[in-house]
A and B are shown apart, each in its own frame.
Chain A
Amino acid sequence: MPAFSCAFPGCRRDLLVIVLVVFVGIGLHIEASAPAYQSHGTEGSHLTNITNTKKAFPVLAVNYEHVRKPFEIALWILLALLMKLGFHLIPRLSAVVPESCLLIVVGLLVGGLIKVIGEEPPVLDSQLFFLCLLPPIILDAGYFLPIRPFTENVGTILVFAVIGTLWNAFFMGGLLYALCQIESVGLSGVDLLACLLFGSIVSAVDPVAVLAVFEEIHINELVHILVFGESLLNDAVTVVLYNLFEEFSKVGTVTVLDVFLGVVCFFVVSLGGVLVGAIYGFLAAFTSRFTSHTRVIEPLFVFLYSYMAYLSSEMFHLSGIMALIACGVVMRPYVEANISHKSYTTIKYFLKMWSSVSETLIFIFLGVSTVAGPHAWNWTFVITTVILCLVSRVLGVIGLTFIINKFRIVKLTKKDQFIVAYGGLRGAIAFSLGYLLSNSHQMRNLFLTAIITVIFFTVFVQGMTIRPLVELLAVKKKKESKPSINEEIHTEFLDHLLTGVEGVCGHYGHYHWKEKLNRFNKTYVKRWLIAGENFKEPELIAFYRKMELKQAIMMVESGQLPSVLPSTISMQNIQPRAIPRVSKKREEEIRRILRANLQNNKQKMRSRSYSRHTLFDADEEDNVSEVRLRKTKIEMERRMSHYLTVPANRESPRPGVRRVRFESDNQVFSADSFPTVHFEQPSPPSTPDAVSLEEEVPKRPRLKADIEGPRGNASDNRQGELDYQRLARCLSDPGPNKDKEDDDPFMSC
């Protein structure tokens, strides 16, 4: 970004700003004059009916009413996005002020403008917010939720979410009620239940605001997942408390039975939400099993099932947010195993796009609603609310951490606690809940004003200062690089080790249950939810690769070890259990089948032409050019010398199939380089002009013999390169047509 703006001469930037302003002006003018058009239109038709004279055929007519609603919506969204664009062109601004603040300011300005013009600025309709603007953000968060840190800290997160929010609500509600009792404030009409209701609205940490601010400060994973997880899971508490207190304040009295029912309600709401989400998640996974013929609509299934989960749970007054999260988490591993690569990309980008738009709109509307909404300002109440928010949050975090640290292995340090407390931002959910309050509440306007003030305070003051504070306190930042393959290996090793030791101790701990879940998943669930071939294929592919690895090892040991390497090492106690023992014949058969499948797919990819129902561009994949091959080879050579530091691309949940890619390449290591194993010690070109892939195997033993001769070094690289190219060319050539016409989804687009 900085490079871009530096290259941008100052005058062009000013021009862009002017264009933006003009655009805004036009947009507002059109909206303002919309009613004028409306009346004009009806008048005109009325006149025509009465007089019935022949008018000239209107060559050009304006009918704004026809497109009014979609036009306005599109205009708002466009405006929001242009603003977002504008911010990033001003480099220093976006580094200091978080985007959310800027957007609220823009909303304020726009709202002010509209008011000045004389129109009624649109308020953030709660219906619109909860049904349209919030779901994309939550789905995006849930779908890409980092599962491992989340499950490792789920206890802590739940304690913060449930107990923390309860503490906040009651503390604030209680103290505010006490405040209202003081005569001088002049709010003696506010009863306890109303205060508690207000407390419950304003106490919940908001996921939208947290996402918006934390995304820019790149804090370490633990703190991020704590605050973020808390903001997601406290929705259940908020829903229950809100509904409870609203019911109670209508009735006026509270009995013990009501309290008990409230507790039961909490469990029903949260667990029910999760259950609904999980059901829809499994449905989506099951549906995706059959989409191999209609790849184009795959992303839609993901979105629609999730949205249905949200709506269904909202219908039953269950926690919609938890349903969305559960749906995303449950659905993800299976759906990603089934859908095509392009669908995966589509889903990713659509989710990011929608959540980005939603977030922008939410903040702008917050600003506009502030200008629009009816306000009732009471200094004491509002200031006290803000102070109490901070105080209760800090006290809550400190108190809870003290208790939690007794059960945690990795304790939360004071710095972590501070960031968790300081990062408890309130946002649009609080505002919408307040807006939902029926007008019969006499304190509604006061509450709304207080809520808005709290939101502004947290977003502006806390949002802006959190970044310098993080720097000042030198809080651990997010690890920018992905773990290297070496680290991945060792992490997996340690996982297995800890599971084993837990088994020895007889302790059913975290690792034990994780292991159990994985096994259950593998044996039962995956069968049903992953399309048939894909379920079995990875095992075969992995097995194939292990065989390749074995063979390659044999090569390097230059024929002195005729048998499989691992068993020859003098480790009597260790059996490499992982290598299944199959006969040579079976190995060959498997190889043949696999290669045939690959060939088939390559051929299919070639023959498919463009059609509206596939996204596949046959020409592009065809282009297995020399240049690309050479580049690949050079890349691999480079990586070999740094193998310990190569980042492992953990995003790909499915092993080895189309998504094994490295950081710089976007090419799919599917049919091209899949079965090749690159030898650093290249042999002289003894390869026949092989057309079919099948001769790759018999080629190997011959190369093996040739290695005795020239030992590989740089001078042989040229030969090796030629050799490699020949190999690769063999692989890319479709070869003889096999009868096996399986539709092989794993290699498809």
Chain B
Amino acid sequence: MGSRASTLLREEEIEEIKKETGFSHSQITRLYSRFTSLDKGENGTLSREDFQRIPELAINPLGDRIINAFFPEGEDQVNFRGFMRTLAHFRPIEDNEKNKDPTASEPLNSRTNKLLFAFQLYDLDRDDKISRDELLQLLFIPCHWLCSALCHLGCFYSEPNRRNQDGTYLNLSNKLLN
């Protein structure tokens, strides 16, 4: 967080990001310095390679999915705004009823938006549906005992194709996030 960071990020940009995502000033500057440290090419955007260089993501079984979540459809570079937009999903939920502005869109860290974000992580081929195969993929995240338990159940061979999981998934996730 030195002078370099503050010169490259203008005040009005910080204000815009603050309004859009809800992060505080210090959080934005701190994340900006992180952004620049990840940006090896120094062109103001991050590519997939930049993300893959992060050691924690390299060993994370969900690393690829997380990286994909940062890049909107079809693009290969993400700028700081997009970076913050994705990260904003992870802020704590604020249930402040008094600021309810019916015309404003929901904040990025609302419950529904979080669920939508998580849904996109499950939906690997981005067809807005979670297929049975995509669910099966979850089994291959290393969690041994689950794998074995499901082997015993032998359940997946009998399930009919579960297309369009949106509704049920959101219900389950609501249960989880509560």
**Is the pair A545, B153 in contact by a Cβ cutoff of 8 Å?**
no
Main secondary structure on B side of the interface with A: helix
* Interfacial residues of chain A within 541-576, with CB under 8 A of chain B in the complex: 541-542, 545-546, 548-549, 552-553, 555-556, 565-566, 569-571, 573-576
Tell me, rounded to whole Å, the shortest Cβ–Cβ distance linking A595 to chain B.
15
Q: Which of A494, A552, A575 contacts B176 (CB 8 A)?
A: A494
State the Cβ distance, A481 to closest chain B Cβ, in Å: 11
B128 CB to nearest A CB, Å = 15
Is A85 close to B, CB under 8 A? Answer: no
Q: Which residue of A lies closest to B55 (CB)?
A: A503
Report chain B residues within 8 Å CB of A306. none
Cross-chain contact A579 with B64 (CB below 8 angstroms): no
- The stretch among B2-10, B11-19, B156-164 that forms the contact with chain A is B156-164
* B61 contacts across to A, CB distance below 8 A: 496, 577-578
Contact bitstring B28-68, A, C-beta under 8 A = 1, else 0: 00010010010000000000000100111101111111101
Docked Cα-Cα span, A655 to B144, in Å, equals 6
Interfacial residues of chain A within 644-681, with CB under 8 A of chain B in the complex: 646, 648-649, 652, 654-656, 660, 669, 673, 677-681
Interface hit among A61-69, A482-490, A619-627? A482-490
Chain B 63-104: CB-based contact to A (< 8 A → 1; otherwise 0): 111101010000000000000000100101000000000000
The interface stretch among A373-381, A445-453, A635-643, A734-742 is A635-643
Interface contact A490-B145, CB-CB below 8 Å: no
CA distance A569 to B57 in the complex (A): 23
Contact A487 to B144, CB < 8 A, known contacts A548-B151, A549-B150: no
Assess whether B154 is interfacial by the CB under 8 Å rule.
Answer: yes
CB distance from B89 to the nearest CB of A (A): 9
- B118, chain A: closest CB distance, angstroms: 8
Q: How far is the CA of A206 from the CA of B64 in the complex (A)?
A: 49
Does A500 lie within 8 Å of B172, measured CB to CB? no
Distance between Cα atoms of A673 and B151 in the complex (Å): 10
Chain A min CB distance to B36 (Å): 11
Closest residue of A by beta carbon distance from B37: A506
**Inter-subunit contact A501/B140 (CB<8 Å):** no
Q: How far is the CA of A497 from the CA of B145 in the complex (A)?
A: 19
- In the complex, A50 has a CB within 8 A of chain B: no
Asked if A678 contacts B175 (CB within 8 A), the reply is no
Please determine whether B66 and A656 come into contact, CB atoms closer than 8 angstroms: no
Contact B60 A499 (CB under 8 A): yes
Q: Is B173 an interface residue (CB 8 A)?
A: yes
Whole-angstrom CA separation of A505 from B61 in the bound complex: 17
Describe A's contact surface by its main secondary structure.
Answer: helix
Complex CA–CA separation, A499 to B147 (angstroms):
21
Q: Are A492 and B154 in contact (CB under 8 A)?
A: no
Task: Judge whether B34 and A505 touch: CB under 8 Å.
Answer: yes
Cβ of A402 < 8 Å from any Cβ of B? no
A505 to B155, CA, bound (A): 38
Identify which of A490, A566, A641 contacts B137 (C-beta below 8 A): A566
A694 — which chain B residues lie within 8 A by C-beta?
Answer: none
Cα of A504 to Cα of B46 in the assembled complex, Å: 12
Measured CA separation A679–B133 after assembly (Å):
18
Question: Once bound together, how far apart are the Cα atoms of A565 and B136, in whole Å?
Answer: 10
CB-based contact B140/A578 at 8 Å: yes
Near A by CB (< 8 A), chain B positions 115-152 give 118, 121, 124-125, 133, 136-152
Determine the chain B residues whose CB is within 8 A of the CB of A545 once the complex forms: 144, 147-148, 151
State in angstroms the CA–CA spacing of A649 and B141 once bound together: 19
Are A677 and B154 in contact, with the CB atoms below 8 A?
Answer: yes
User: Is B152 in contact with A669, judged by CB distance below 8 angstroms?
Assistant: yes
A493-513 interface mask toward B, CB cutoff 8 Å, 1 = contact, 0 = none? 110111111111110000010
Q: How many residues of B contact A (CB 8 A)?
A: 54
Are A487 and B176 also in contact (CB < 8 A) when A505-B87, A565-B133, A566-B136 are? yes
Residue of B nearest to A639 (CB): B153
- Known contacts A490-B176, A545-B147, A648-B146: does B60 contact A503 (CB below 8 Å)? yes
CA distance A649 to B125 in the complex (A): 32
**Which residues of the other chain, B, contact A649 by a CB distance below 8 angstroms?**
149
Give Cα A502–Cα B140 distance, bound, in whole angstroms: 22
Check A648 against B149 for contact (C-beta < 8 Å). Answer: yes
B133 to chain A: which residues have CB within 8 Å?
565-566, 569
Q: Which residues of chain B are within 8 angstroms of A538 by Cβ–Cβ distance? A: 144
Q: Does A409 count as interface, using CB distance less than 8 angstroms? A: yes
Q: Is the CB of A497 within 8 A of B66?
A: yes
Please, which residue of chain B has its CB at the minimum distance from the CB of A641?
B158
Evaluate whether A497 and B144 lie within 8 angstroms (CB atoms) in the complex, with A490-B176, A503-B55 already known: no
Structural contact, A487 and B172, CB atoms closer than 8 A: yes
Q: Is the beta-carbon distance between B87 and A541 smaller than 8 angstroms? A: no
Once the chains bind, are B172 and A660 in contact (CB under 8 Å)? no
How far is B150's CA from A643's CA once the two chains are assembled, in angstroms? 9
CA A646 to CA B148, docked complex, whole Å:
14
| A575 contacts B154, C-beta separation under 8 Å | no
Report chain A residues within 8 Å CB of B68: 573
Contact B64 A573 (CB under 8 A): yes
With A487-B175, A578-B141 already in contact, the answer to whether A500 and B147 are too (CB < 8 A) is no
A491 part of interface (Cβ distance < 8 Å): yes
CB atoms of B141 and A492 under 8 A apart: yes
A670 → B minimal CB distance (Å): 12
User: B171 CB to closest chain A CB, in angstroms?
Assistant: 11
Closest-CB distance, A511 to chain B (whole angstroms): 9
Is B153 a contact of A643 with CB atoms below 8 Å? yes
| Complex contact B155–A501 (CB within 8 A) | no
Do residues A673 and B176 form an inter-chain contact, with CB atoms below 8 A?
no
Q: How far is the CB of A415 from chain B (nearest CB, A)?
A: 16
Question: What is the minimal beta-carbon distance from B37 to any residue of chain A, in angstroms?
Answer: 8
Cβ-defined contact, A681 with B157, below 8 A: yes
Q: A542-B148, A636-B154 are in contact. Are A571 and B172 (CB under 8 A)?
A: no
Residues in B neighbouring A641, C-beta threshold 8 A? 158
Known contacts being A485-B149, A577-B61, is A656 close to B143, with CB within 8 Å? no
A501-B90, A574-B137, A575-B64 known; A643 vs B56 contact (CB < 8 Å): no
Chain B proximity of A710: nearest CB distance (Å)? 16
* Contacting residues, chain B, for A497 (C-beta < 8 A): 62, 66, 118, 121
Q: Would you call A485 and B121 a contact (CB within 8 A)? A: no
Q: Which residues of A contact B87 (CB under 8 A)?
A: 501, 504-505
| B66 touching A646, Cβ below 8 Å | no
Q: List 20 A-B contacts (CB under 8 A).
A: A493-B121, A494-B176, A497-B121, A500-B57, A504-B51, A504-B66, A542-B148, A552-B157, A566-B140, A569-B124, A636-B154, A640-B155, A643-B155, A643-B156, A649-B149, A655-B145, A656-B144, A673-B152, A678-B154, A681-B158
Given A489-B138, A546-B147, A578-B61, 11 more A-B residue pairs with CB atoms under 8 Å apart are A485-B150, A492-B141, A504-B87, A552-B154, A578-B141, A646-B153, A648-B149, A655-B145, A655-B147, A677-B157, A681-B158
User: Which 10 interchain pairs have the tightest Cβ spacing?
Assistant: A503-B56, A655-B145, A656-B148, A655-B144, A542-B144, A680-B158, A643-B155, A678-B154, A578-B140, A556-B157
Q: Interface on B for A, CB 8 Å cutoff?
A: 31, 34, 37, 51, 54-57, 59-66, 68, 70, 87, 90, 92, 118, 121, 124-125, 133, 136-159, 172-173, 175-176
